[in-house]
Structure formats: C-alpha cells, structure tokens
Structure 1
Amino acid sequence: MSKNDQDLLARCAAIGTSTWADAMDTLGIAGVVQGIARRGGQGRIAGFAATARHVWGGLGDFDRADFAVGRLVAATGPGRVLMVDAGGTCISTFGGIASMAASKRQATAVVIDGACRDVDEIQATGLWLASRHVTPLTGKTRLRLQAMGEPVTIGGVQVAEGDLVVGDDTGLVVVPRARLQEVLAAAQEALEVDERVERGIRDGLSFAEAAAAANYIPASGGGRA
C-alpha cells in the first residue's frame, strides 16, 4: 500500500460511521450496511474493499476444495477489508483458524454477509470481524467460492473492489472509491459542525443554542439531527 493510501486511510479512520452516513445522505449516496454486527476486534477500522462471493447449498452439494477459504485469507492484509457476500445465509464462511491466519497477515478487517463461527477463537486473535449470523455450521461442502474482485452486495449496499469501508461500534459504511474525496470533504465539514456544537455545550450553552450557533439544526427546525 502506498504512503498516500496509508495517509488517506488514517484520515478516514479518524471519522466515525455516523458522520460518514450524514455526509453520504447530503450527497444522495446509499452506503450504510444493515444487519451486520461486529463479532471480534475493537475500535474503528478503515480500509479498501477486497470482494468475494460465495454461493450456498446443502451438505455435500460442493467439493471441500470449492470452499476455498485459503483464497479468502490470501486476499486480506493491511489496509484491506475482505467483504464476503454469502447471500446472508446462516452457514459459516470464517472460523477460528481462518481468523488466526488473517490476523497473521495483519488484515484490517473481515465483513461477511453470511455467518462466522468459533467466536471465542476469533476474539482471541484480535481480528476485526463482522457478520450477519453466528453458527457452528461449517461451510465445507455447503459453500462454493464463485468470484473474487467482482461487485458484491453486503447488507443491502453495493460494494466494488477498492471502495472505502469504515467500521466501528456504531456500524459499517461503504463509500464508492470514485466519490471518496467528495464524501470525505463532506464528512470533515460535518465533523467540524459537530465539534462546534460540542464546544458550545461545554461552554455552557443549551443544546438548542449551541446547535443554532453552529447551524447544526436551523432555526426553522429542519436540517440534520
């Protein structure tokens, strides 16, 4: 990863998902991931998406080699967020061993629109991982890796390879790479407004007074809350 990308991700990681969501609202971009919760890791992450898609079936529908979890692990690394579209199925894509391997590769995060298992082992590795479900049900012979590097859908959001992914205790957002600079500027502006409101409240203003002074909520009652 280039020094420019490292610096860019550091700037992005300084901004919470709520602020990113507000910025995308102002620009008409749908980027808030729904229904996927963090299972391991802590704090805020920011990285560029590496995409993968699993198709699912019943026990024995696929060869064990079709699971191809090694290819998923190989796609992880610093500054990379593995985004796995498993169609929301309650079959595990990632477990404790895969999480240990991803952690050894210094993966930024793994996000699965599907399931993981071995949550205690995932947490022990320190890997930042989020999934729709948790289940002991293995993906071996039930899941087949269909594609990597192609557009996927995660929590109702379209994700392309290289899009920005930010995750924290509040949730996950995806910012299209082609609009990243535009959204980042809007997010930084929104953050500055929030900080002005906070300073006003610390200085003794009421919420309404501080919000009006910072143009957080216009006097007419509209605007972002």
Structure 2
Amino acid sequence: MSEDHQDLLARCAAIASSTWSDALDALGIQGVVQGVPRRGGAGRIAGFAVTARHVWGKLGDFDRSDFAVGRLVAATGPGKVLMVDAGGAAISTFGGIASLAASRREATAVVIDGACRDVDEIQATGLWLASRYVTPLTGKTRLKLQEMGGPVTIGGIAVAQGDLVVGDDTGMVVVPRARLAQVLEAAEHALEVDEQVEQGIRGGLSFADAAAAANYIPAKAQ
C-alpha cells in the first residue's frame, strides 16, 4: 500500500461511522450497511473494498474446489476490506482457519453478506469480521465463487471494487470511490462541528446553546 493511501486511510479511520453517515446524507448518497454486525475484531477499520460474489445451492451442488476460499484469503491484506456477497445465505464463507490465514496477511477486515462460523476461533485471531449470520453449516459444495472484482451488494448497499469501507462499534458505511474526496470533506467538516458542540458543553454551555453556537442545530429548531 502506498504512503498516500496510508495517509488517506488514516484520515478516514479518524472519523466515526455515524459522522460518515451524516456526510452521506448531506450529499444524498446511500451507504449505510444494514444487518451485517461485527463478529470479531475491535475498534474502527477503514480500507478499500475487494469484492467477491458467491452463488449458493444445496449440499453437493458444487465441487469442493468451487468454494475457493483460498482465493478470498489471498485477496486480503493491509488497507483491504474483503466484501463477500453470498446472497444473504446462512451458509458459512469464512471459518477459523480462513480467518487465521487472513489475519496473518494483516487483512484490514472481512465483511460477508452471508455467514461465518467458528466465532470463538475468529475472535482469537483478532480479525475484524462482520457477517449477516453465524452458522456451523459449511460452504464446501454449497457455495461457488462466481466472480471477484465485480459489483456486489452488501447489506442493501451496492459496492464496487475500490470503494471506501469504514466500520466500527456503531456500524458500517461504504463510500463510492468516485465521491470519496467530496464525502471526506463533508465528514471532516461534520466532525469539526461535533467537536465544537462537545467543547461547548464541557465548557458549561447547555446543549441548546452549544449546538446553536456551532450551527449544529439552529436555535429556532430546538
């Protein structure tokens, strides 16, 4: 990862998902991922999306090699968030061994609109991983890796390769790469306003007065 990308991701990681959500709202962009909670890891992550799409079926519908979890692990790394669209199926895409391998590659995060398993093992690796479901049901012969690098849908949000993904204890947002500079500017401005309100309250102002002073909420609206 280049130094420029490292600096950009550091700026992005300094901003909470709630603030990113406000910035996306201000620009009329849908980007809040729904229904895909964190299962492992801690803190806030920011990285660029690496996309993958699985199709799913019944036990025995595919060869074991079609699962191709090795290709998924190989796509992870620093500054990368693996975004796997498994169609919301309650079939595991990632387990403990895959999570260990991804953590050894210093993966920023793995996000699955589908399922994971071996949560205790995932948590032991420290890998930041989110999934719609947790299940013991293996993806071997039930899942087939259909495409990597193409458009996917995660938690109701369209995701393209290279989009920004930010996740924390509150939730997860996706920012289209083509709009990143614009959304980042709006998010950093919103963060400054939030900090002004907080400083005002800590300085003894009421919430209403601090919010009005920072133009957070106009006095007339309170």
**In the aligned structure 2, how far is the partner of 1:221 from the partner of 1:71?**
53
Query: What's 1:151 paired with?
Result: 151
The superposition leaves residues 162-200 of structure 1 with CA deviations (integer Å, 9 ceiling, x where unpaired) of 000000000000000001010000000000000000000
Q: 4+ residue stretches of structure 1 with deviation over 3 A?
A: none
Q: Which amino acid aligns with 2:207?
A: F
Paired AA for residue 144 in structure 1:
K
User: SS at 2:50's partner residue?
Assistant: strand
Give deviations 1:56-115, integer Å, cap 9, x for gaps: 000000000000000000000000000000011100000000000000000000000000
Q: Matched residue of 1:133: which SS?
A: strand
Equivalence for 2:58: 58
Cα distance in 2 for residues equivalent to 1:72 and 1:93: 9
> Cα distance, 1:30 vs. partner?
0.2
Structure 1 segment 64-75 matched on structure 2, within 5 A = 64-75=64-75
Matched, 1:3 2:7: no
SS at match of 2:29: coil
For each residue in 1:135-154, what CA deviation from the matched residue of structure 2 results, as whole angstroms up to 9, or x when unmatched? 00000000000000001000
Identity of aligned residues (%): 82
- Determine helix, strand or coil for the equivalent of 2:127: coil
Shift of 1:219: 2.1
TM (normalized to structure 2)?
0.99
CA displacement at 1:221 relative to structure 2: 1.4
Following superposition, the deviation at residue 7 of structure 1 comes to 0.3
Find the aligned partners of 2:143 and 2:220 in 1 and give their Cα distance: 53
Aligned amino acid, residue 101 of structure 2: A
1:215 equivalenced with 2:206 (yes/no): no
CA contact (8 A) 2:208 2:219 kept: no
* Alignment deviations for residues 3-33 of structure 1 (CA, whole Å, 9 cap, x no partner): 1000000000000000000000000000000
Q: Which runs of 5+ in 1 are unaligned?
A: none
Gap runs ≥5 in structure 2: none
Once residues 220 and 66 of structure 2 are traced to their aligned partners in structure 1, the CA distance between those partners, rounded to angstroms, is: 58
Alignment of 1:187-202 (within 5 A): 187-202=187-202
Question: CA RMSD of the aligned region, Å?
Answer: 0.7
Counterpart of 1:12 in structure 2 is 12
Q: In structure 1, what is the Cα distance between the partners aligned to 2:76 and 2:96? A: 15
Residue of structure 1 in register with 2:133 after alignment: 133
Q: TM-score, normalized by length of structure 1?
A: 0.98
Deviation of the 1:220 alpha carbon? 2.8
Counterpart of 2:187, as a letter, is A
1:187-218, Cα deviation, whole Å (9 max, x unpaired): 00000000000000000011111011111011
Q: What residue identity is the alignment partner of 2:70?
A: G
The answer for the alignment partner of 2:105 in structure 1 is 105
Look up the match of 2:167.
167
